[in-house]
C-alpha cells in the first residue's frame, strides 16, 4: 500500500489504471484471505473463535444485515450483479476476521507513518512539477490518486493513530507524519476531512483525561506548523515564485456544498423499502456513481432495514468507545468513528484504499475488545457446521471477485476509445461499471 501512495510509474494521465490497480490489489488481499480460510483449519478455527467473541448485540445487528442484504441482492434489479456484490462484501468481512490475527502492531504503526509521508510527497511532487513546467498547481495536480478526495479518504484513518504514536513515543520525529497530514489537508482544501478528524480528536479528549492536554498540544502545534509548511512548500508561495501568481486566498476556504445536497435528494428518490439490489445506484443514478453517503448507499442498494441495522452498529460502536478506559482502544474507536463520519459526505467506504484501511482499523479495534470465555458445549458439532459455512462463503467470495477481476482485466480495463466516457466516475472501477446489465423486471 505504501508503494501505491507514492506512485511514479502510473501517472495522472492514466487515471483508469491509477484507480483500478488499487481495487485489484484490494481484491487480491480478499482472495488470499479467503484462500487461507478455505485451506487452513487453524485459520478457520481462529475465525470462528473471533466471531464467537463478538457481543450478542453485535451479532444481532451484523447477521441480519447480511441475510436481508442477500435477499435484496437476489430479488433486486440486477440479480447476477447483486449476487457478486454480496459475496464481495462477505469477502471483506472474512478479510477483517483474518486481519485480527496480525500481531505486528509496531510495524503497522510504522507503515501508517510511512504512508502519511509518502502521501505528502505525492502532493508535493505534483504541485512542484506543475508549478515548474505547467500552468500552476491546484488541488487536482497530485500524484498517486485519481482525485484529491480519495487521498483525503485515506488520511482520515491515519491522523489520529499518528497522534497516538506521538503520545506514546515521546519523540519529536513522530510529529512529522501528523504535520504531513495536516499540510495535505490544508493544501487540498479538505473541509470534510478536517471536521471528521477534529470531531474524533474532540471525542478522544473528552474521554481521556490522562492525555487530554498532550493530545491538544500535539494537535494544535501540528495544525499550525502544517499550515506554515503548506504556505511555503505547496501553495501559494511556490506558485508566486515560479509563475508570479498569488491569486489564492490565504485561507482558501470553499463555501459550496459540491452538489452533495442535490445528490442526496436524488438518492432518497431511489430508495425502496426492500432495496434495489447491488449496483442499483451506480447503474441508475443520473448524477454520480456513488451517493457520497454510506447510509444512503446501503438504503438504496439493500433497503431500509439494513440501513437501520448499519446505523445501529454505528451507535453501538459509539457507546462502546465512550465506555472504554484504555487509551489505545479509545484511539482505535474514535478513528473508526471519524472514518464513518467522513463516509457520510464522501466515498470513504467505497474507494479501495480507504476501505482497506477501514478494514485494518476495524480488525485492530476488534482484536482489542475483551475476550469472552469459550463454551465447550456441543463444540465438535457446531465447529463442523461453522467450518463448512466459512468454506462455502469463502469459495463463493473467491469466485465472485475473480469473475469481476477477470472481466475487467481481459477487457484491458475498457481503455479502448469506444469505452471512454465524457467524465470518469469512480465506483468499483473507474468508469464502465455497468456494461451488459440484465435487469430483473
| Contact present, 51 and 253 (Cβ < 8 Å) | no
Give the global pTM.
0.94
- Among 221, 131, 236, which Cα is nearest to 189's? 236
Query: Residue 225: inside a domain, yes or no?
Result: yes
The rounded Cα 291 to chain-centroid distance in angstroms is: 15
* Cα–Cα separations (whole angstroms), residue 330 to 51, 208, 365: 21, 8, 9
The rounded Cα 9 to chain-centroid distance in angstroms is: 23
The pLDDT score that the predictor gives to residue 255 is: 55
The pLDDT score that the predictor gives to residue 96 is: 97
Residue with cell 507524519: 177
The pLDDT score that the predictor gives to residue 253 is: 53
Query: Residue 169: inside a domain, yes or no?
Result: yes
| Contact present, 162 and 26 (Cβ < 8 Å) | no
Query: Residue 121: inside a domain, yes or no?
Result: yes
Query: Residue 406: inside a domain, yes or no?
Result: no
The pLDDT score that the predictor gives to residue 249 is: 45
The pLDDT score that the predictor gives to residue 347 is: 94
Query: Residue 431: inside a domain, yes or no?
Result: no
* DSSP structural state of residue 426: B
pLDDT per residue as tens, the chain (441 positions): 788 899 989 989 999 999 999 999 999 999 999 999 999 999 999 999 999 999 999 999 999 999 999 999 999 999 999 999 999 999 999 999 999 988 777 888 999 999 999 999 999 999 999 988 877 778 888 999 999 999 999 999 999 999 999 999 999 999 999 999 999 999 999 999 999 999 999 999 999 999 999 999 999 999 999 999 999 999 999 988 887 776 554 445 555 667 899 999 999 999 999 999 999 999 999 889 999 999 999 999 999 999 999 999 999 999 999 999 999 999 999 999 999 999 999 999 999 999 999 999 999 999 888 766 555 555 555 589 999 999 999 999 999 999 999 999 999 999 999 999 888 999 999 999 998 665 554
Would you state the cell numbers that stand for residue 399, as one nine-digit string?
A: 469466485
Query: Residue 347: inside a domain, yes or no?
Result: no
The domain of 240 spans 114-251
Residue with cell 435528494: 265
Query: Residue 60: inside a domain, yes or no?
Result: no
Query: Residue 120: inside a domain, yes or no?
Result: yes
Domain count, the chain: 1
The pLDDT score that the predictor gives to residue 245 is: 73
Amino acid at each position: 500500500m505504501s508503494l501505491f501512495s507514492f506512485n511514479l510509474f502510473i501517472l495522472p494521465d492514466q487515471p483508469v489504471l491509477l484507480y483500478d490497480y488499487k481495487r485489484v490489489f484490494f481484491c487480491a488481499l480478499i482472495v488470499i484471505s479467503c484462500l487461507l480460510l478455505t485451506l487452513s483449519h487453524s485459520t478457520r478455527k481462529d475465525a470462528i473463535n473471533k466471531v464467537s467473541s463478538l457481543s450478542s448485540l453485535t451479532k444481532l445487528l451484523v447477521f441480519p444485515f447480511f441475510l436481508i442484504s442477500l435477499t435484496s441482492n437476489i430479488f433486486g434489479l440486477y440479480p447476477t450483479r447483486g449476487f457478486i456484490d454480496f459475496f464481495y462484501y462477505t469477502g471483506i468481512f472474512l478479510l477483517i476476521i483474518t486481519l485480527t490475527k496480525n500481531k505486528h502492531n509496531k510495524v503497522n504503526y510504522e507503515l501508517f507513518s510511512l504512508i502519511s509521508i509518502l502521501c505528502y510527497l505525492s502532493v508535493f511532487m505534483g504541485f512542484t512539477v506543475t508549478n515548474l513546467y505547467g500552468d500552476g498547481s491546484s488541488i487536482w495536480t497530485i500524484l498517486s490518486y485519481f482525485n484529491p478526495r480519495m487521498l483525503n479518504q485515506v488520511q482520515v484513518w491515519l491522523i489520529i493513530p499518528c497522534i497516538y504514536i506521538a503520545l506514546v513515543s515521546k519523540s519529536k520525529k513522530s510529529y512529522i507524519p501528523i504535520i504531513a497530514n495536516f499540510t495535505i489537508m490544508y493544501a487540498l482544501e479538505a473541509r470534510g476531512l478536517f471536521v471528521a478528524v477534529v470531531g474524533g480528536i474532540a471525542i478522544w479528549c473528552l474521554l481521556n483525561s490522562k492525555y487530554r492536554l498532550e493530545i491538544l498540544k500535539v494537535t494544535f502545534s501540528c495544525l499550525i506548523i502544517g499550515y506554515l509548511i503548506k504556505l511555503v512548500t505547496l501553495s501559494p508561495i511556490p506558485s508566486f515564485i515560479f509563475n508570479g501568481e498569488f491569486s489564492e486566498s490565504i485561507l482558501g476556504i470553499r463555501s459550496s456544498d459540491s452538489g452533495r445536497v442535490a445528490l442526496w435528494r436524488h438518492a432518497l428518490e431511489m430508495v425502496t423499502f426492500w432495496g434495489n439490489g447491488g449496483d442499483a445506484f451506480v447503474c441508475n443514478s443520473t448524477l454520480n456513481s456513488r451517493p457520497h453517503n454510506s447510509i444512503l448507499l446501503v438504503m438504496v442498494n439493500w433497503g431500509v432495514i439494513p440501513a437501520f441495522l448499519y446505523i445501529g452498529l454505528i451507535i453501538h460502536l459509539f457507546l462502546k468507545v465512550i465506555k472504554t478506559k484504555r487509551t489505545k482502544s479509545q484511539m482505535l474507536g474514535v478513528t473508526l468513528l471519524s472514518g464513518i463520519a467522513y463516509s457520510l459526505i464522501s466515498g470513504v467506504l467505497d474507494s479501495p484504499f480507504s476501505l482497506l484501511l477501514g478494514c485494518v482499523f476495524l480488525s485492530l479495534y476488534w482484536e482489542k475488545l475483551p475476550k469472552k470465555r469459550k463454551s465447550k458445549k456441543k463444540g465438535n458439532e457446531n465447529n463442523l457446521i461453522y467450518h463448512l459455512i466459512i468454506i462455502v462463503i469463502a469459495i463463493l467470495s473467491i469466485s465472485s471477485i475473480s469473475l469481476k477481476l477477470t472481466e475487467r482485466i481481459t477487457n484491458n480495463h475498457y481503455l479502448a476509445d469506444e469505452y471512454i466516457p465524457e467524465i470518469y466516475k469512480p465506483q468499483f472501477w473507474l468508469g464502465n461499471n455497468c456494461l451488459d446489465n440484465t435487469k430483473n423486471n
